[in-house]
Amino acid sequence: MFDNWDDLKKSIENCKKCKLCTNRTNIVFGSGNKNADIMFIGEGPGADEDVQGLPFVGKAGKLMNMAFEGLGIKREDVYITNIVKCRPPQNRVPEANEAEACLNYLRNQVILVKPKIIVLLGSTALKNILGSDLSITASRGKWIEKKGIYYMPTWHPAALLRDENKKIEFWNDLKSVKEKII
């Protein structure tokens, strides 16, 4: 564990702890407010994120931005990162061994940010953070408190692109996050 951002970031930039290192263009460390009250955790970088080295800058990210704007959540006020920091090939779900290899970096980020709320975007984030037995369909929209942090599981924004009906639920989940903080 590192007590500062620079050392943590450097260690990830050189990381070869799993095979996802072989195809990455850039690591996607995370972005936003390093002292945020709210942290968002996605799955892993896609093609756009891999090229830019930033989380949620592609199609799914743009949809998330629209929800943020509508709800008055500023991207620069929250912290956004992923379960794995390197892009899985063809955007496949990270394997258990890859997520496991990368998870200590995320734990370190959580320790440094000290968020009050963590929004888990989709099944991969939910299962790796709160338990592999949990289903996103059953868990979404319900607060889970663990060691003083409030977790809100919700749909991954990419799921909204495939299923319009999920948009309203995503919106409502983020609304409940916004309301908890004010």
Binding site for ligand SF4 (CB under 6 A): 12, 15-18, 20-21, 27, 84-86, 98, 101-102
Q: For strand 79-82 and strand 117-121, is the pairing parallel, antiparallel, or unpaired?
A: unpaired
Using CB under 6 A as the binding rule, whether residue 43 contacts ligand URA is answered as yes
| Contacted entry of ligand URA, ligand SF4, none for residue 152, CB cut-off 5 to 8 Å set by kind | none
Minimum separation from the CB atom of position 69 to ligand URA (A): 18
Number of H helices, E strands in the chain: 8, 6
> What is the end-to-end Cα distance of the chain in Å, rounded?
32
CB-CB contact of 31 with 80 (8 Å): yes
Per the DSSP assignment, residues forming a β-bridge with 99 are: none
Sequence-distant (6+) residues with CB within 8 A of 74 are: 68
Using CB under 6 A as the binding rule, whether residue 46 contacts ligand URA is answered as yes
Position of minimal CB gap to ligand URA:
42
Q: Phi, psi (5° rounding) for residue 142?
A: -115, 130
Minimum separation from the CB atom of position 157 to ligand URA (A): 7
Q: For strand 149-154 and strand 144-146, is the pairing parallel, antiparallel, or unpaired?
A: antiparallel
Nearer to ligand URA, 1 or 118 (CB): 118
| Contacted entry of ligand SF4, ligand URA, none for residue 43, CB cut-off 5 to 8 Å set by kind | ligand URA
Length of the chain: 182
Q: Which of 60, 73, 86, 126 binds ligand URA (CB under 6 A)?
A: 60
| Contacted entry of ligand SF4, ligand URA, none for residue 18, CB cut-off 5 to 8 Å set by kind | ligand SF4
Query: Which parts of this chain interact with ligand URA (CB under 6 A)?
Result: 28, 42-46, 49, 55-56, 58, 60-61, 82, 158
